[in-house]
A and B are shown apart, each in its own frame.
Chain A
Amino acid sequence: MEPVLQEIYDSILNGDAKAMEAKVQAALKAGINPKDILDQGMVAAMADVGQRYENGEFFVPEMLISARAMQAGLAVLKPHLREANVAPSGKVAIGTVKGDLHDIGKNLVGMMLEGAGFEIMDLGTDVDPEKFASVADQVDVIALSALLTTTMPNMKATIEALQRTGKRGKVKVVIGGAPVTEAYAQQIGADGFAPDASRAVAVTRALSGH
């Protein structure tokens, strides 16, 4: 790997957001392809972050500062990616379901997906099923989060809203959250279940055909 790409990678692992702007600029100035900066410097680093989270080395603070560093670099890189016609890995609408106001899980998944090259539409918390359905035409995947057993039924309600509006076939649905299980995902007809923010990337990649 080019030394400056390794520096970008390390800055993300170390959560060094302040260094990122200069390093991404340096990489661009060195003539490195924006897609290579993204894939080798950032996406690979965030995959490493995810692996360390799954291994129990990183926890939420480390994920947050790494994601912040990644976002700082991405802010510099985005115009260059657009100019180079680099398409995102896919588009994902994410939100916490109706009646649920918990957002950190959703935010972590959003950050990890962004770090994997996806474009994120964050619908926030307490999101109506109809709201999810209304954006189904614009995305490849809808990601639903719930922390409570009392709000999990709105995951099913969201899938039913997609069916009612004739959009179920246009989009994949992945679900996650503390009380959510693989069995529940199958029960309600979701396409995928992610046990944590890191594994959400692999599940979403598989569902979006990337």
Chain B
Amino acid sequence: MDKRTVMKMALEWKDPPYVPWNINFTIPSEERLRSHFRGQDLEEVVQNHMVNLGYDIYFYHDIGNDCVRDVFGVVWDRSVDKDIGVVKGQVLAQPILKGYNFPDPLAPEVFAEVSDRLERFGDRYRIFGIGFSLYERAWTLRGLQTLLMDFYDNPRFVHELLNGIADYNIAQIRESLKYDIDAVMFGDDWGQQHGLQMGPRLWHEFIYPVLKRMYGEVVQAGRKVFIHSCGDVDELFDDLVGIGLNCFNPFQPEVMDVATLIPRYQGRLAFYGGMSTQRTLPYGTVEDVRQETQKLLELGKSGGYIFSPAHDVPKDVPLENMLAFIDEVQHQPGYLNRS
């Protein structure tokens, strides 16, 4: 039974032989892990269950001075935060879309490596990812504070911008569906530590209809819809399930009750994430990490859950804590006894 099959069983609540996992690392934590496993391929060490396609592979171009420019023209200063960076400048200085050229959603680079990656990691669950997929793309073009005020100042422009972004995404989604992929994952942070950044009313008015359009493409093709949205967004789960959401990430335990949500949404919404990157992983002992991992694996043993830290493992997580959760997931009896 390959990893792809185990993932499908987990996502369908069909009693997988073990809880699958998928763990990503920030650059500094990956370097520490590489250093520890000197000479070994980290893919072989970690044994992730997903292969990510799209997004990072073609998206950024180095423009010097620790800055990169993405295909939408947004400049990211990575002098401090090496993984994502901070937006520099303002591509859409005015609330006018006319004159702005969206990038080519079907640029050759988008899909250039997909076939090779599918061949290399063919035993894994295949996800085509679109990062900064809607609201985040809009604010990176306009400025976060400016876009948040645009909801009131320039509503027509916001609708136009979000739909323009969705048109770009849909063209890419349709092309990705021609490959043997299992899911499309939309990354878009809406939450804060408490509640939504824009609040539920504006979310429903501006973002929800566009999500329905995008998710609909995936649903119609019989594939799964995953989302990544940081923060306290669980008030949206029922609405999102209603338009096709199948799996939610990052599932941060500091802002939502993971132990309640996994059983509550059994059969409707699976979860991917759940391991604390704000408390347990940076500050807990190895035993704390092992216990929390065990609790999550227990919660997900019948399906509906994919283990992961609640974000790419940040640099303040001690090496021994990383090794602890990797060890726990890989010592699940069903995984050790796999055929």
Q: Which of B92-100, B146-154, B318-326 contacts A (4 or more CB under 8 A)?
A: B146-154
Residues of B within 8 A of A150 (CB): 282, 314-316
Query: Which of chain B's residues 267-288 have a Cβ closer than 8 Å to chain A?
Result: 277-278, 282-283
How far, in whole Å, are A88 and B278 apart by their CA atoms in the complex?
Answer: 37
With A15-B152, A59-B199, A61-B152 in contact, is A149–B314 under 8 Å at CB? yes
Task: Sort A-B residue pairs by CB-CB distance and give the 10 closest, nearest first.
Answer: A59-B199, A101-B86, A178-B193, A61-B148, A150-B316, A179-B278, A149-B282, A61-B151, A60-B197, A64-B149
Taking the complex as formed, is B122 at the interface, i.e. its CB lies under 8 A from any CB of chain A? no
Residue of A nearest to B191 (CB): A178
Q: Which of B149, B153, B278: most chain A Cβ within 10 A?
A: B149
Taking the complex as formed, is B80 at the interface, i.e. its CB lies under 8 A from any CB of chain A? yes
Question: Does the CB pair A56–B314 fall under 8 Å?
Answer: no
Which of A58, A65, A126, A178 is within 8 Å of B192, CB to CB? A178
Write the nearest CB–CB distance from B189 to chain A, whole angstroms. Answer: 12
Query: Which of chain A's residues 44-66 have a Cβ closer than 8 Å to chain B?
Result: 56, 58-62, 64-65
Residue of A nearest to B192 (CB): A178
* Chain A residues close to B by CB (< 8 Å): 15, 56, 58-62, 64-65, 68, 99-102, 104, 107, 125-126, 148-150, 178-179, 195-196
Residues of B within 8 A of A58 (CB): 199
With A149-B282, A149-B314 in contact, is A59–B197 under 8 Å at CB? yes
How far, in whole Å, are A195 and B198 apart by their CA atoms in the complex?
Answer: 18
Which of B81, B148, B198 is within 8 Å of A101, CB to CB? B81
Taking the complex as formed, is B36 at the interface, i.e. its CB lies under 8 A from any CB of chain A? no
Residues of B within 8 A of A59 (CB): 195-199, 202
Question: Does the CB pair B144–A104 fall under 8 Å?
Answer: yes
With A56-B195, A101-B80, A179-B278 in contact, is A61–B315 under 8 Å at CB? no
With A101-B80, A101-B86, A149-B316 in contact, is A107–B145 under 8 Å at CB? yes
Taking the complex as formed, is B194 at the interface, i.e. its CB lies under 8 A from any CB of chain A? yes
How far, in whole Å, are A153 and B88 apart by their CA atoms in the complex?
Answer: 26
Write the nearest CB–CB distance from B106 to chain A, whole angstroms. Answer: 33
Question: Does the CB pair B314–A148 fall under 8 Å?
Answer: yes
Write the nearest CB–CB distance from B252 to chain A, whole angstroms. Answer: 10
Chain B window 106-149, contacts with chain A (Cβ cutoff 8 Å), 1 for yes, 0 for no: 00000000000000000000000000000000000000110011
Question: Does the CB pair B278–A61 fall under 8 Å?
Answer: no
Which of A56, A61, A178, A179 is within 8 Å of B149, CB to CB? A61
Residues of A within 8 A of B195 (CB): 56, 59
Which of B192, B194, B202, B254 is within 8 Å of A61, CB to CB? B202
